[in-house]
Amino acid sequence: MTIPESGCYMDNETSCLPCTPEEEKRVVDELTKEAESNLKEGNLYYVLSNRWYMDWLRYTGQDTGDNMFGHFIGPLSCNGVDSKTPIRRPGQIDNSHLLLDGSDVDGIDLDMHRTLEERRDYVLVPQEIWKKFHDWYKGGPALPRKLISHGVAHKSYSVEVYPLSLKLTDSRDDKKYIIRISKKESVRALYNKVCSLLDLDPEKVGIWDNFNGRKHKLLTVSDEDLEEACLQIDQDILLEVQSEGFHSSRSGMDSTGNELALVAVDPPSTSTSIAGGPAVSNSNGYSSGFGYNIIKGNGLNLPFTTADDGNDILSSVKKCGGGGLAGLQNLGNTCFMNSALQCLIHTPPLVEYFLQDYTEEINKQNPLGLHGELAIAFGELLRKIWSSGRAPIAPRAFKGKLARFAPQFSGYNQHDSQELLAFLLDGLHEDLNRVKKKPYIQAKDANGRPDWKVANECWQNHKARNDSVIVDVCQGQYKSTLVCPSCSKISVTFDPFMYLSLPLPSTVTRSMTITILYGDGGALPMPFTVSVLKHGCVKDLIQALSDGPDGCCLKSDEKLLLAEVDDHHIHRYLDNPYEQLSSIKDDDHIVAYRVPKVPEKLTRLEIIFRSKQKCMSDISNGADSELLGTPLVSCFADGLLTGADIQPLAHKMLVPLMRTTSASPSNQVQTNAASGDAMELEEAFNGDSSPFHLWLTDEKGTSCHPIDNARVFEQGQTVRVLLEWSDRVRELYDVSYIENLPEVYKTTGYIAKKNKHEAVSLFSCLEAFLKEEPLGPDDMWYCPACKEHRQATKKLDLWRLPEILVFHLKRFSYSRYLKNKLDTFVNFPVRNLDISKYVMSKDDPPQSHVYELYAISNHYGGLGGGHYSAYAKLEGDKWYHFDDSHVSSVSEDEIKTSAAYVLFYRRVEKPVSVVGDASNI
């Protein structure tokens, strides 16, 4: 595609007449769309100062509020900027503050992997856009970066802003060098770069993975990329230059130049087993040693036995003790991974499973799995932790596998420990699935059959396709009931789960202030503050306002009509009882009108108030009207509404606003208001004695038309009239009652501080999870009876509980308007967590529903940054704090904190009697 250089020409190739802002925006938009449609590995992107880019957005009249720093720029929207306001054209591009030393364009000042993504003081632009920016503005320097791909089964792309920064030490003189190279380059390319830098003969060079200053393995020249070779950002590598006679096989080539098979530098795995004895191959082609002699030198003095005894490590660990106390080194923002891993690695059934020989269950053929590689990597890491004493372990091999199969966790950004946990459980299950060929099973509808029969059928169907140690110990089953709001069709399904994501009570309950107005003029407006479920719906709010302890005591023949008021007019009516309350923001103004409850549709009369400062011709010509106060709404239930009915109805609705002392005819009107005689009220304001005039208008009060007394309005119609608030009306009525409506929720320092330290129960979180609620607008259910997608109500019930029960506390909330982390303290039992009353099924044979805590994944800090750690219990009921490499003992009283994020429980057959534990939850 050729983009015309409209309005731009070169003068001696040193200057360029600027394009108009509109033309620049158009060119960039087109180039952006072209780049997005042609993503492929190797495409060049350029790092651009975000400071400069923000100036350019403002210059071209674009919104800068939602720009995501550190990401691709996408199609740009033009809004939010007043075109009449002149914005200066940006100066030259200045990327100098992004460089390490102001001159090295290969490096960007990340402070390496720790703080780089917190800064995000850059954007990424495709090469063609960079060329345009540079043509228009000059400056620089240019910082090109390549687009790389991640993953095996599912490809994703990212720009490698931060290449590997390897610290090379020359063993001949201990000189230090920094080698910057893409993690997608091969080991061969690393050799070539080092040899070129130091003018060395490749045949005489060996480069060692020298992580943490210790020689791990010699990097064999191959096409394996550096990420697969487990090289990490900012790590050490060691250069050894051999004297004459250094054999060429070191470089992976024989004397004829042919590539040799890669030979491992470590002792061959076929000579020793995972227990230190002879290895035994199996039908899967895996050695029981998994390629690692991980037991040597571990300090456990494990006996030399054959691999026929699959309990070697397990029995030795139980006998010798001391296992499981190794920390995991932080490889660069990998505390989230370390926290999740420590919790799984200290899950008793998984420890027993992976410390034995599980190779027969590795499923290499499963297309949903990871060819068994994730299970092997996890098993190797678990064995190391349970057999290495207390020496910290660098989980580099595991992270390499993780990045290969889950590209969302590649790189060195912080991630969510629960999201990683979900991936690991699913990935381990598929890698260890005993079902090699999954049968096709057609789901059947319940059709009124007993729940226990449908549940058993669903579970057997699930087990026919999914059978692994993860299913055995981690998967439960819940009942899901959907009800169609239109035809009341009920659908019941039974689905498996591996963890339960529980909303916190601070996200469960919400305080809302709603102003209630009387549609019949029966009383003054009155604000009511009620507590409702945050994830509830409009129906819940109406119920709380109607008959709740803090409600308005609604009469049996009345109902509430909710509306959102914005800029003195009704922005929308909340007619859908299943609309989620999350659509109402804290700074909204919500009102509820008390209206008659009748089966048929009511005709609404809506009065909008306007200050009498402009002539009526201004309104009719569409000029801005100066609205004030809050609209009043009445519903006409007696027959059809006519134009002649509007004036007396308006008088009646305004009665509560009458001043107690005022001039005639107000005294007469006040008396009439007290007696409630509508006929006398109408007579008081008959003819020209009425203090106000009414006109038909639109929803925003921007037009007006005379009211025809003979006009009949259709039933169910909303009739909007405009009432001019003249000086005479202000004398008679007190407008303050309908001005300055309270917000739905007003945060104060005292309340915020109080709520932060409120303790809530784990049981209340579980109850909120199980409560009936409507599906979201983006999660509609297809009703088989209506043949339409419906916003059905959904109810969950626990049916079958697993041996390992995992609770995820939803501390992080994201919405269009707010991103938040809740530090609410959740009071959870350590022992005797009895959830029998929440389980609907009757197990045969009976199962215990009492659980004991054994691990916690913690998150400290907020959204912008933070840190993960883990608590885990070992044999003897001793608790330990796993904080990356550091491991320390803690008391049981210390593990209950507001940082608890994911809780791991194990079923116990007999409750342990502990005073003051579950009883005070």
Q: Which sequence positions are flagged as catalytic?
A: 335, 867
d(CA 507, CA 501): 13
Nearest CA to 79 out of 65, 93, 69, 95 is that of 65
Strands (E), 520-581: 526-533, 558-566, 569-573
d(CA 138, CA 392): 50
Under a CB-based contact definition with an 8 Å cutoff, are residues 528 and 741 in contact?
no
Under a CB-based contact definition with an 8 Å cutoff, are residues 858 and 816 in contact?
no
N-to-C CA span, the chain: 66
d(CA 577, CA 542): 9
Under a CB-based contact definition with an 8 Å cutoff, are residues 872 and 854 in contact?
yes
Angle between helices 417-431 and 335-345 (to 10 degrees): 50
Q: What are phi and psi for residue 125, nearest 5 degrees?
A: -125, 145
- Give the ranges where 63-186 is alpha helix by DSSP (H): 112-119, 127-137
d(CA 241, CA 207): 9
d(CA 532, CA 297): 60
Tell me if the bond preceding 845 is cis, omega within 30° of 0.
Answer: yes
Q: Is 467 exposed, middle or buried (0-12, 13-18, 19+ CB in 10 A)?
A: middle
State CA 27 to chain mean position distance.
Answer: 34
DSSP letter for each residue of 471-507? HHHH-EEEEEEEE-TTT--EEEEEEEES-EEEEPHHH
- CA 828, 832, 838, 839 torsion-angle sign: positive
Q: Which residues pair with 580 in a beta bridge?
A: 537
Angle between helices 335-345 and 373-385 (to 10 degrees): 80
Rg (CA), the chain: 35
Give SS3 for 16.
strand
d(CA 327, CA 392): 5
Write down the residue that tokens 């080539």 correspond to.
Answer: 253
Segment (H or E) for 237? strand 236-241
d(CA 907, CA 854): 10
DSSP letter for each residue of 289-338? TTT---STTSSS------TT-TTHHHHHHHHH--TT---B--SSS-HHHH
Give every CB contact of residue 461 below 8 A, 6+ residues apart in sequence: 441, 443
Under a CB-based contact definition with an 8 Å cutoff, are residues 842 and 452 in contact?
yes
| Residue 90 DSSP symbol | P
d(CA 84, CA 477): 61
d(CA 525, CA 516): 6
d(CA 409, CA 105): 27
Q: Which residues pair with 793 in a beta bridge?
A: 483, 774
Under a CB-based contact definition with an 8 Å cutoff, are residues 574 and 560 in contact?
no
Exposed e or buried b per residue across 449-466, where buried means at least 16 C-beta atoms within 10 angstroms of its C-beta: eebeebbbbbbebbeeeb
